[in-house]
């Protein structure tokens, strides 16, 4: 029996430890358990953090994804170094002029559109996908696209984290309170 599915017994036929389910209410309960939650309440996180205002936007973008939008074209995300990343797309059949890579508002967008050829070829089997696509990636702060290249049917997009010096961790010194100069008691009496 799958997890989360309980054996249903007729109403009134309860045994010790068995779950009794009303037959009319049963359908509503099973339907409610099958609904996917798409809303996130992030307010508890905002009490203990500062500057993560765009986190809600990232969750909303993730909630809008479906299986068809994330399956084509296949891609890898690789950590290439301490502050370096690479996204590699399998783009067989796409040329350099068919691909477009843009960055706007910390969103990396990769689009591919194959130019329609006017050849009158009759395909017996067409296994190389030549459909258009658009993939979007939310980039973290200070992630910059350092380059893109295509080789052997793979599109490589290199990313690098460039944190400004002003935002890097620094030591803050703690100053002692100023010392009050006290005069000797004998001099104060004079």
CATH number for region 72-116+126-165: 2.60.40.790
The residues spanned by each domain of the chain are 72-116+126-165
| Residue 183 or residue 138, greater confidence | 138
Burial (CB count within 10 angstroms: exposed 0-12, middle 13-18, buried 19+), residue 155: buried
**pTM for the predicted model, two decimal places:** 0.57
- The answer to whether 58 and 136 are in contact (CB under 8 A) is no
| Residue 57 or residue 80, greater confidence | 80
pLDDT 10s digits, 98-149: 999 999 988 899 999 987 666 677 888 888 777 889 998 888 888 999 999 9
Considering only CA atoms, which of 127, 148, 114, 135 is closest in space to residue 71?
A: 135
Considering only CA atoms, which of 4, 70, 59 is closest in space to residue 37?
A: 59
d(CA 162, CA 147): 14
pLDDT 10s digits, 65-74: 555 556 788 9
């Amino acid at each position: 029996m799958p997890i989360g599915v309980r054996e249903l017994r007729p109403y009134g036929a309860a045994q010790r430890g068995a779950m009794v389910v009303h037959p009319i209410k049963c359908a509503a309960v099973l339907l409610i358990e099958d609904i996917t939650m798409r809303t996130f309440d992030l307010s508890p996180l905002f009490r203990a953090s500062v500057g993560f205002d765009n986190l809600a936007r990232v969750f909303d973008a993730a909630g809008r994804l479906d299986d068809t939008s994330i399956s084509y074209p296949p891609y890898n995300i690789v950590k290439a170094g301490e502050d370096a990343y690479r996204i590699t797309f399998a783009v067989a059949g796409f040329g350099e002029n068919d691909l477009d890579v843009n960055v706007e508002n910390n969103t990396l967008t990769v689009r591919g559109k194959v130019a329609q050829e006017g050849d009158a070829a009759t395909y017996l089997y067409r296994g190389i996908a030549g459909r258009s696509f658009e993939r979007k990636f939310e980039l973290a702060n200070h992630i910059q696209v350092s380059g893109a290249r295509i080789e052997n049917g793979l599109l490589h997009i290199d990313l690098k984290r460039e944190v400004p010096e002003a935002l890097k961790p620094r030591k803050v010194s703690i100053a002692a309170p100023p010392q009050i100069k006290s005069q000797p008691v004998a001099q104060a009496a004079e």
